[in-house]
Amino acid sequence: MEEDPHGLGASTLAAYDAIVLDYNGPRLGAETEVALAEYVRSGHGLVVVHGASWAFNGLVVLGDHHVRTGIMEPPWMEYRKMIGGVWSEDEPKTGHGQRHEFTVKIVDRSQAVTHDLPTELRANDELYHHMRMQPGVHVLAAAFDDRRFNGTGNDEPVIWTVDYGKGRVFHTTLGHDVKAMQADAFLKPFLAGAAWAVGESQ
């Protein structure tokens, strides 16, 4: 297992079937970024969790406990295509209302990630809204962003997949902390999504 991705190259990544990314720190460096994109494109899996929706997108770099560092870096444009949805500080700004309990609704049961899941799952989490969704994204689940909790009053995508070259990307915006990750709405799709990303289900 690698916890610091900086400096990883193709030979290191080749030992793994999938990468789990919940990261919003500094960019990884040209060698690692090229290696990661090629790793996924060539047929491996990528599992993107919560905070990684913010990363590498031209926003301020976050430090421990999501503290803004003041460091700004140019966006990694290929990352947007790879993960399918990112944060933006252009209007309407991406964000979330108050953390609260909400229902995640499966909107497409035809995909291997979701066909064995309940139609509704409960979350206790941050509910991202105004995500910038990229072309080719396959949205699997959404949640109503209630205005009572400073939401948009709309259904917002929370779980999706992306076919990136020969690779498979599973993305969940849920999973803010341990409590959030223990909820069915995070855990059950995460396990199914990871299995799909490594090719264990079609």
What does the pLDDT average to over 100-116? 97
Looking up tokens 């993107």, which residue turns up? 48
Amino acid 140: pLDDT: 98
Amino acid 202: pLDDT: 65
pTM to 2 decimal places: 0.94
Residues 6+ away with beta carbon under 8 Å from 110: none
The partner residues of 171 in beta bridges, in order of sequence, read 48, 160
Residues 6+ away with beta carbon under 8 Å from 90: none
Residues 6+ away with beta carbon under 8 Å from 118: 106, 184, 188
> 100-106 and 120-125 as β-strands: parallel, antiparallel, unpaired?
antiparallel
Whole-number average pLDDT of the chain: 94
Amino acid 64: pLDDT: 83
Structural domains in the chain? 10-197 (3.40.50.880)
Q: What is the pLDDT of residues 144-183, one digit of tens each?
A: 999 999 999 999 999 999 999 999 999 999 999 999 999 9
Task: Kindly write down the DSSP assignment for every residue of 128-179, as one continuous string.
Answer: EES-EEPTT-EEEEEEE--GGGT--SSEEEEEEEEEETTEEEEEES--SSHH
Q: What is the pLDDT of residues 21-32, one digit of tens each?
A: 999 889 999 999
Looking up tokens 């939401």, which residue turns up? 151
Amino acid 119: pLDDT: 97
Amino acid identity, position 152: T
Amino acid 4: pLDDT: 61
Q: What is the pLDDT of residues 125-147, one digit of tens each?
A: 999 999 999 999 999 999 999 99
Amino acid 172: pLDDT: 98
